[in-house]
Amino acid sequence: HYTSAQHYDPSRAAFKDFAPFWEFVSGPLAAGGFQALKLDGTFGPEQRFIKAPNRANTSPAETPQYFGEIDIDGDSGELTVRLRQEGGGVLFTKALQPGRVGQE
């Protein structure tokens, strides 16, 4: 239970037959926090952002809770992901354009 953003790319991966993609993790709200685990290299992850407690099962009273927000612009189709912490502060933002596979 933490928040992070990873980009996966076949050029870094053990398995090569896929299009690059993003993964965003955040939450859950009101649960204990845990350390992030090392990512498996099968799909060539590159961790672009991570915020996690340094010990397992950290109380929600001790560490910020995290959540994600997704916004899609109705005119351009741009998708913006924001990883936020308790209180609404933005920790990480990534905007993705429609039709562009594997955007860095």
Q: What is the pLDDT of residues 50-91, one digit of tens each?
A: 999 988 889 988 888 899 999 999 999 999 999 999 899 999
Residue 34 forms part of a structural domain: yes
Residue 104 forms part of a structural domain: no
Element (H, E) at 91: strand 90-96
**CA–CA distance, 63 with 33 (Å, rounded to integer):** 7
Domain span at 16: 2-96
Residue 17 forms part of a structural domain: yes
Question: What's the token pair of residue 102?
Answer: 């594997």
Residue 26 forms part of a structural domain: yes
pLDDT at 61: 86
Residue 101 forms part of a structural domain: no
- Per-residue pLDDT reduced to its tens digit, 7-61: 999 999 999 999 999 999 998 777 888 988 899 999 999 999 999 998 888 998 8
Number of domains in the chain: 1
- Full-model pTM: 0.90
